[in-house]
Every structure is written in C-alpha cells, then in structure tokens.
Amino acid sequence: MTQSWQIGDIKITQINEFAVEVGELDGLIAEATPDAVKAVPWLYPDYANENGQTLWSVHSFVIDTGSSVVLVDPACGNHKDLPLIPAWGGLDTPYLKRLEEAGYAPKQIDYVAITHLHLDHVGWNTVLDGDRWVPTFPNARYTFVQDEFEYHRGLTEGATVTEDLGHAVTYNGADPDIHKQTRLVFEQSIQPCVDAGLVDLVPQNHTICDGVRYTSTPGHTKSHSSLTIESGGQTGFITGDFVHHPIQAAQPTWSSRGDWNRELSSERRVEFMESVADTDVLVFGTHFAGHSVGRIVRDGDAYEFAAV
C-alpha cells in the first residue's frame, strides 16, 4: 500500500524496495544490543522486535511539488553486483512497478536527488538494457553534491580509505574491498548517467527546485546531505543515513559502524534532535521500517520518534 504525506502544497510518497531480513543489520549500531533496544519501549513493534533486534527498510521518497517531481535515493536496484552486502545484490523487485502505481512513470521524474553515494541509495539510477546499464529516468537531472561525488570517485581510483566503509558489514568479521565495491557502484549505477549527460554536480545546500534543497549533514559520509522540503509554512526533512534508525532519537550519540566520522555524525545528530524537538517538522526516515514518517518529541533527557 502506497503512503503519501503533505508538506504544504508538496506531496511526498514512499516507494518501498524491500524489508531488510531480521538480523541482517544486527550490530550496525554497536551500542544497540538487545537489552539496550528493549530499554526503549516505543521502538516496538515497527522499529524493533520483541527479541531486541532492530528492524530496517530500504525505500525511496518521491517529492511532487506540482511543477517538479524529485526521486530521492533510488535504493539498491535490480541485478546489481554488491559484494559488500551480497543479499542486497542480484535483486529482482517490482520497484519500478510500485513507482508507476504511485503515479510516476520513469519518464516523469525531473530530478534524482542523491543524499550520498552508498550502494543502497543509487541502484535504480540505472537498469540493464541487454548487457548495458542505461539511465532509468531519461528526462531527469541526476544531482550529486560535488564534494560527495569527488570523494567517492577518488575511492574508485584507490584513494586512501580511513573510516568510510560504505555500509560494509565489518562488524561480523568481514574484510571488504571498499575500492572494488565503489568501482562497481560507479560502473553500474553512476557512470552511465554521466555518459548520458544527465548528471549535475552541485554545491552543498543546493536548491534542487522550488521548495526542495539539500541540507549538509556530514558524518555518515564525508559530504552526506539530507533533503529539506518547505511549503506553505511547513517543513519536511528526509534523513538519508544521517539518522539511520529511530533508536538514534533516543540515543543520538550512537553512530553507525559504517559512518565515515562517528564523532561528527553524533554531534550533528544531537544538534538536529534539539533543533526539531517538539516542532512540526516532519521527519522522513530513509531506512525506518514500518511507519517511517513522524516527528521528534522530547522524552525526558532524550527524544522519541512519534510516527504519524
């Protein structure tokens, strides 16, 4: 069932790709042990199960301003090579059918806005045409924050990797080749759009179209950006992986093991929670399972994600 929300005159619709298998991301947030998760009762049942395991989703959002249609973070894609997370590779999901059922054929997308260049946020940029990857959205401008694009392109060329593991599941003992995965992401999901002349490299905090702009939220990656939507005096905020899971409302200092700079991610998230708590800002969680849209409300010395 397709869900939509309004920010003033702007409609935002969620397009699901898949629910992450329970247990697959256990340990991604190190502090989120079963006991710690159970200590946050409002997480159950949408964001955690009764065993204290966190629940996750992979989906996108479509922002329809009335004059422009923006697709945010087109998920993993079908038939991709994803050795860092093999279970997410080689997919065959009806994502594009769901997009069309929501009222948006690929040719109707005006912008594809990418929060960061990890494998589960760029996959549907392209589809296979025979043995060739081609842009899925032929009339769209694919917008990437230039600093984010250049950093990840550097990884394809063997630039030094510090903490950026690109969602690599190192917490279970894996020793991933981030260079190989980033090269595959570029070859299959990004370079075909560049070759087609559809890519715009933009500055941080760039306005994509009227009412929709990037907001710099570094930490998960070097130049990660979220999306701010403003219309009719109302505000929405699409997290990307800046807020990876709702437990980070209860514990905003807890960062993902895949964060490029966990301290910076933590600092910015604390600032964000304080700035939006008990306001009307509607938060759209890019990996939030179940009810993925809600508001941040104060809960004693911390915060709660209250779904709408």
pLDDT in tens, 227-250: 999 999 999 999 999 999 999 999
Mean pLDDT for 77-99 is 97
Q: How many CA atoms lie within 13 A of 227 on its CB side?
A: 29
Asked if the 3-240 domain carries CATH number 3.40.50.300, the reply is no
> Residue 209: is its pLDDT beyond 60?
yes
Mean pLDDT for 263-279 is 98
pLDDT digits (tens, 9 = 90+) for 210-224: 999 999 999 999 999
Question: Sheet containing 111-113: which strands, arranged edge to edge?
Answer: 3-7, 10-19, 57-64, 69-72, 111-113, 141-145, 199-202
Mean pLDDT for 291-300 is 97
pLDDT value of residue 158: 62
pLDDT value of residue 1: 74
pLDDT value of residue 280: 98
pLDDT digits (tens, 9 = 90+) for 111-120: 999 999 999 9
Query: Which 8-state DSSP code applies to residue 189?
Result: I
For the chain, give every domain's residue range.
3-240
pLDDT value of residue 163: 41
User: For residue 215, what are its two tokens?
Assistant: 């907001």
pTM > 0.85: yes or no: yes
Mean pLDDT for the chain?
94
Model confidence at 155, pLDDT cuts 50, 70, 90, reads confident
Mean pLDDT for 145-163 is 79
> Residue 184: is its pLDDT beyond 60?
yes
Token pair 């992979």 is at which residue?
58
